Amino acid sequence: MKKQSTNVLAFILAILVIAGLVCVAIFGVGDMPGVFDEGGVTQGLDLVGGSYIVYEADAENPSDEDMATVRAMLRQRLDSLGYTEATLAASGDNRIAIEIPAITDPEEAVQKLGSTAVLLFVDIDGNVWLEGSDIEKAEAMYGDSDGNGVSEAFVSLKIKPESVSKFAEATRTISKKTDGNNILFIALDDEIISYPYVNEELNTSDVVISGAFTTEETVWLADLISAGKLPFALKEVQLESVGPTLGEKALKTSLIAGAIGLALVMLFMIIFYRLPGIVATLALIAYSSLMGIILVLGNNFINLSLPGIAGIILSIGMAVDANVVIFERIKEELRLGRSVGAAFTGGFKRAYAAVIDSNVTTLIAAAVLWYFGTGTVKGFAITLFIGVLLSLISAVLITRFLLARLVGMKIVNKKYYGA
Amino acid sequence: MKNFSFTNNRKVFFIIAAVVIVLGICSFIFRGFNVDIDFIGGTTIQLEMNKELSAADLDDIKATISAVEVGDAPDKLYETPEETEAVTEAATEEATEAATEEVAEEETEAVTEEATEAVTEETTEEANKEEAVVLPKILVKPQVSTVQKAGEGTQVIIKLLELDSETRDALCHILAGKYGLNLTTDLLGVNNVGASVSSDLRTAAITAALIAILLMLVYISFRFEILSGVTAVICLAHDVFVMFAAYSILQIPLNSTMIAAVLTILGYSINATIIVFDRIRENVKLHSKDNFDTNVDLSIKQTFRRSVNTSLTTLFTIGMVYILGVDSIKQFALPIIVGIFAGFYSSVCLSGNIWSALKKLFNKSRV
């Protein structure tokens, strides 16, 4: 009798835990937002609208440094165009992939971002003295550049030999200006990136730009100056752009499809398997909540796209499979005349091998796609992989625990188990 | 069901499968595939035309694009003007602010003023440049391959050979002018895949699929015997073949989501086959006196309910996705639905029978 009440208590506790999971998933907890909250789930570009642009270096084998320079330049351009939420990543040896959410004119972005960088050296009156092609190299360095015994971060600029005379003339002219006007503006794409003072004529190829820089600042400046003398152009090789109208519709319809599909599955399970069906429904609710929580917690690297939603919906279908296999086995055992308790133990035992084997094969497929896939395929693989893992937990552990409590409560009328 | 024998009707099942395969091959030859730009490169533009489209409308759009020549430009930009202006203004303000801040750090006040002025001038110039809008021009003559209806019949997907950004832009504006569209809301999507990317996507897709299949087979051979592994391969080949037949017959666009759909079905179908084999393995141990066919028939019947129920529940979810989804999702869901039917057929009607047939074939010499 005592044992029976422990089972009732455990069952109620389990249901409370599941209810708690649902609340956490929907409303969030502490710093963690809920799935429907702003900043909860990171939505893919196909859901919020936006552009995915891939640029390729128009050169045979661009060096890693050149590619780093290109990335720094693109970041700068993204920021100056106002696309601060854009993400940028290297893709292969010679490509860079950019994702810009909620953008209205993708072609403008493609053209502006990919245009050849224009680097100009200008004086305060607007006269252009040198261009990007006059520069041989720009490097961020650290050391005692002016011989005053203090080490500092500075940018070392190497002028091409044929341009040294031009640079000498520029510095001579600028240094003769009144104090405060003797500035050499360095502008990239019409934006001033540095404005050093010039105090004397510099008739040399090695120039130093210094002045209370941090190391990051010198790296940034050196990268941008280097961008102005890039030996190759950027070629747009891929554009995927989804307008906000289509994205919004896609999200809404997919959510409705998921909800209806889930409801149908639950209804089917309850009608067909009765009490175990109800348990399976509880397990599915736990599964959905856990999936939501993982999507929120992992929103830095999981991007929920349309194929991702398809992956989740498919894994729901597969989560049910494990339960179907187990419940069918229990029914069979009951038909053989076993007691509910014996049928429960036997059914689970016999079903395990099949459930594990079948889920492992799907996990293998999902893992390979996750590793090798790109874009849409990857989004699908990630949610399918997580979905199958979670479905194993929900279908095997949660269902088993709840069913064992029901048996322990002496709810053993075979009718309740669909026999 | 009780009196029906799966093993006695072996020939019927094999013939049905053979007929489907022959139909598929005919379609491959005569209809071919609707290969999407992912794998061959190209440009697609999806537009909301705001009216029910007839075949004549589609022909008209095709004719309009075909009439476009190099050097053509739209009369104006078809966007909501307030928005463009707002963006430009905001950008200018920001730039000016940023520049002012930067320069404001300077000590000499006079310079600050002058420099700020200079910078402001520069940015204003830039803004002016933007206001005197440069219309995009057609740089390459667009080559249309298809114009298809999409969505609820009011949208159109135009597939072209690869175009550069400016030409795409110009083309969209020309179409907007002709059909009275507002590109801010009616341009649903633009996709462009260059030749280098498409060949990389193709390689990546094939590599991923082959590795996944190989690993799944290693796992099965490890868990069962080698003949069952071979049987599983034959069943998988059947399922993939049926899916490709669906791609060809229904002209579903063949793109990189195809790999995900095919692998999903491979995993799903292997599950189903394993469930049947697991039963056969168990029944052969339990009823070792009965011949193999009897055990196969018994196993298929014992697992039949599971096979039906699992297919049904999966169809509930993926079916809803197909019914309610947007085009790109429909194109993904449809082959999966076909694959679920194929997987059901191959695991219930083919797998046990093929295993048994192979066993007879290879053990004949010994018996």
Distances (CA, A) of B134 to A189, A373, B178: 18, 40, 19
A168 phi and psi angles, rounded to 5 deg:
-60, -45
What is the distance between the alpha carbons of residues A276 and A417, in angstroms, rounded to a whole number? 6
Q: Look at B103 and A237 and tell me if their CB atoms are within 8 Å.
A: no
Query: Could you tell me which of B337, B163, B353, B93 has the C-alpha nearest to residue B239?
Result: B337
B277 phi and psi angles, rounded to 5 deg:
-60, -40
Rg over CA atoms, chain B: 30
Whole-number pLDDT of residue B167: 92
Q: Is B38 helix (H, G, I), strand (E, B) or coil?
A: helix
Question: Which amino acid appears at position A241 of this protein?
Answer: S
Residue-wise DSSP of A294-346: HHHHTTTT--B-HHHHHHHHHHHHHHHHHHHHHHHHHHHHHHTT--HHHHHHH
End-to-end CA gap in chain B = 32
Q: Look at B275 and A54 and tell me if their CB atoms are within 8 Å.
A: no
A278 phi and psi angles, rounded to 5 deg:
-65, -40
With CA atoms as reference, the chain B residue closest to A122 would be: B118
Q: Is A120 helix (H, G, I), strand (E, B) or coil?
A: strand
Whole-number pLDDT of residue A4: 81
Q: Look at B102 and A110 and tell me if their CB atoms are within 8 Å.
A: no
Rg over CA atoms, chain A: 32
Can you tell me the ipTM of this complex? Answer: 0.74
pLDDT of chain A along its 419 residues, tens only? 557 888 899 999 999 999 999 999 988 888 888 888 877 888 888 788 888 899 998 887 888 888 888 888 888 888 878 888 888 888 878 899 898 887 878 888 888 888 877 788 888 877 888 887 888 888 888 887 777 777 888 888 888 888 888 888 888 888 888 777 888 888 887 778 888 888 888 888 888 888 777 888 888 888 888 877 776 788 889 998 888 777 778 888 888 888 898 899 999 999 988 889 999 999 999 999 999 999 999 887 787 887 787 788 778 877 888 888 889 888 888 888 888 888 888 888 888 888 888 788 888 888 888 888 776 678 888 888 999 899 888 878 899 999 889 888 877 777 777 66
Which of B193, B280, B320 should be substituted to probe chain A, the one whose Cβ sees the most A Cβ atoms within 10 Å?
B320
Task: Name B166's Cβ contacts closer than 8 Å, sequence gap at least 6.
Answer: A107, A111, B136, B137, B139
**In what side-by-side order are the strands of the sheet with A206-213?**
A135-143, A152-159, A206-213
What is the distance between the alpha carbons of residues A163 and A129, in angstroms, rounded to a whole number? 10
Which of B128, B259, B317 should be substituted to probe chain A, the one whose Cβ sees the most A Cβ atoms within 10 Å?
B317
Q: Are A49 and A41 in contact (CB under 8 A)?
A: no
- With an 8 Å Cβ cutoff, is A320 touching chain B? yes
What is the distance between the alpha carbons of residues A290 and A23, in angstroms, rounded to a whole number? 11
What is the distance between the alpha carbons of residues B275 and B279, in angstroms, rounded to a whole number? 6
Whole-number pLDDT of residue A418: 67
Alpha helices (runs of H) in B250-351, residue ranges in sequence order? 257-286, 292-324, 327-345
What is the distance between the alpha carbons of residues B216 and B325, in angstroms, rounded to a whole number? 31
Q: Are A271 and A277 in contact (CB under 8 A)?
A: yes
Residue-wise DSSP of A203-242: -SSEEEEEEEE-HHHHHHHHHHHHHTT-SS-EEEEEEEEE
What is the distance between the alpha carbons of residues A393 and A286, in angstroms, rounded to a whole number? 10
- Percentages (nearest 5) of helix, strand, coil residues in chain A: 60, 20, 25
Residues of B whose CB is below 8 A from A311 = 260
* Chain A stretch 184-203, residues whose beta carbon is closer than 8 A to a beta carbon of chain B: 185, 187, 190-192, 195
Token digits for A98? 């950019």
Which of A288, A321, A330, A384 should be substituted to probe chain B, the one whose Cβ sees the most B Cβ atoms within 10 Å?
A321
Q: What is the tens place of the pLDDT at every residue in B137-156? A: 899 899 998 898 887 889 99
Q: Look at B165 and A107 and tell me if their CB atoms are within 8 Å.
A: yes
Query: Could you tell me which of A85, A87, A41 has the C-alpha nearest to residue A382?
Result: A41
Task: Name A23's Cβ contacts closer than 8 Å, sequence gap at least 6.
Answer: none
Q: Are A51 and A97 in contact (CB under 8 A)?
A: no
What is the distance between the alpha carbons of residues A326 and A320, in angstroms, rounded to a whole number? 10
Residues of A whose CB is below 8 A from B259 = 369, 373, 377
What is the distance between the alpha carbons of residues B328 and A46, in angstroms, rounded to a whole number? 10
